[in-house]
Homo-oligomer: A and B are copies of this chain.
Amino acid sequence: MTLEPVLAIIEISAIVVFAISGLIEAVRKRMDVVGVFAVAFVTAFGGGTLRDVLLDRRPLFWVQHQEYVWLVLVLTLVGLPLLRVFRHQCVDRVMQATDALGLGLFAVSGASLALAAGMPLIVVALMGVITGVFGGVLRDVLCNEIPVVFHDHRPYALCAFCGCWVFIGLDFVGAAAWQALLAGAGIAAGLRLLVLALNWRIPSWPRSGEN
């Protein structure tokens, strides 16, 4: 089918962007090359790995596609010149767009695996969000920070959540798999880009729980 190579390109771009976000964070924390690789690796593959462990799927995503492991390894080694390039403003925009596309694609592909495994719908949506988001959560845990996705106030996981429900809904009404997938990923990515463009924020949680 003609869709496959497009999806593969989005997937690889998303892995590169996720890995670079790990790389940047690890360099900021003054890690050495081992730490930089580990954090980049966990950021790129952590969400999918957690999903596979929770769903008991083997082989893991990155075992099946060992070329992705090599990709992150090479990225780590050539990371410095890359980071120089990536500091330019316009590249920042490209990264945000790719990150949004990757979020949508990862989330919906995670949801479709959970659906195929016969999970209840709320679990399907959660697995999608976990796939898209938990790489970043684990990156922040390894970097000794509170996960940014938990306190950023600009919807990120919520966009993935909406995209997953769109996917579930289209699948329910009998749409073709690729239609549901594209629409779900598109909605998630589009919402995320809208959030960034319009600077939408979740209202701050009132601090009634404070000591």
Interface residues of chain A, those whose CB is within 8 Å of chain B, are: 23-24, 26-36, 38-39, 49, 53-54, 56, 58-60, 62-63, 66, 69-70, 73, 80, 83-84, 87, 119-120, 122-123, 126, 137, 141-147, 149-153, 155-158, 202, 204-211
Give the number of times this chain occurs in the complex, counting copies: 3
Bound: A35/B156 CA distance, A: 11
Closest to A150 in B: B35
Least Cβ distance of A81 to chain B in Å? 9
Taking CB atoms, residues of chain B closer than 8 Å to A62 are 123
Least Cβ distance of A90 to chain B in Å? 18
Counting chain B CB atoms within 10 Å of each CB, which of A23, A27, A208, A210 scores highest?
Answer: A208
Q: Are A80 and B205 in contact (CB under 8 A)?
A: yes
Instruction: Find A122's partner among B23, B54, B70, B153 (CB 8 Å cutoff).
Output: B70
Least Cβ distance of A72 to chain B in Å? 10
Taking CB atoms, residues of chain B closer than 8 Å to A34 are 149-150, 155-158, 202
Q: Are A32 and B152 in contact (CB under 8 A)?
A: yes
Closest to A119 in B: B63
Closest to A81 in B: B208
Taking CB atoms, residues of chain B closer than 8 Å to A157 are 34, 38
Taking CB atoms, residues of chain B closer than 8 Å to A207 are 27, 30
Least Cβ distance of A200 to chain B in Å? 12
Instruction: Find A142's partner among B36, B142, B150, B206 (CB 8 Å cutoff).
Output: B150
Q: Are B56 and A58 in contact (CB under 8 A)?
A: yes
Taking CB atoms, residues of chain B closer than 8 Å to A70 are 122
